[in-house]
Amino acid sequence: MSDNSNWHGTTIVLIRKDKDVVVAGDGQVSLGNTVIKSTAKKVRKIEKRNVIAGFAGSTADALTLFERLEAKLEKHAGNLTRAAVELAKDWRTDKYLRRLEALMAIADKEKSFIISGTGDVLEPEEGIIGIGSGGNYALAAAKVLMDTKMSAEEIAKKSIQVASEICVFTNSNITLEKI
């Protein structure tokens, strides 16, 4: 397994509030103490299936997993739960995939999941997910903001902003997708 311990710089937050689902991510990619890129897009939408996903980890690995997720959604007629479980199973057992180093936060209108390379498919209890180097900061901010009148989109943006003020591997160049 390769050592990506020097690669940092992702904060992803997923917010489910009222009837809205939002995934937001910052734009920073760092190598050690150097910012390599400040406008990376770590959030994607599968328009055909009305699914959004955010990625933490190696960019190439995340894009590979996104393509696999899209294929699993097609195979399972848009059933996100089934697609997530099948992707996690492949990720853990496939000789090539198990080397990929990333985390995914995915959602459709009904469900939200964190998928990891260890085979985990976790559904959050409170409709909030935070992953990446600033994920815990964004998660904490979002938990506090959920009790306000702010929309899911406003909470996601503010949570990434808070994380960017604490985590040196996170910036406030926000990409956001909403379903």
Q: How many structural domains does the chain have?
A: 1
Average pLDDT, integer, range 124-134: 92
Range of the domain at 102: 7-178
**Is the model's pLDDT at 78 over the cut of 50?**
yes
Residue 123 domain-assigned? Answer: yes
In a domain, 29, yes or no: yes
Q: Is residue 1 part of a domain?
A: no
- 86: three-class secondary structure by DSSP: helix
Query: With 70 as the cut, is the pLDDT of residue 6 above it?
Result: no
The pLDDT tens digits of the residues spanning 47-74 come to: 888 999 999 887 778 888 889 999 999 9
Q: What is the mean pLDDT of residues 115-133?
A: 90
Residue 70 in any domain: the answer is yes
| Residue keyed to tokens 């936060």 | 105
Report how far Cα 154 is from the mean position of its chain's Cα atoms: 17
Length of the chain: 179
Average pLDDT score over residue span 163-172: 95
Predicted confidence band of residue 91 (pLDDT cuts 50, 70, 90): confident
Residue 9's pLDDT band (boundaries 50, 70, 90)?
low
User: Shortest CA distance to 20 belongs to which of 156, 177, 152?
Assistant: 152
Structure-token pair, residue 60: 């190439």
Smallest Cα–Cα separation from 166: which of 126, 139, 143, 145? 139
Q: How confident is the model at residue 125 (pLDDT cuts 50, 70, 90)?
A: confident
Residue 2 located in a structural domain:
no
**What's the mean pLDDT in 143-169?**
97
The enclosing domain of 47 has a CATH number of: 3.60.20.10
Strands (E) across 26-92 are located at 29-31, 34-37, 43-46, 51-57
What mean pLDDT do residues 140-156 have?
Answer: 97
What is the reported pLDDT for 153?
98
- Is residue 84 one of the residues assigned to a domain? yes
Annotated catalytic residue 10? yes
Distance, in Å, from the CA atom of 77 to the CA atom of 177, rounded to the nearest integer, reads 22
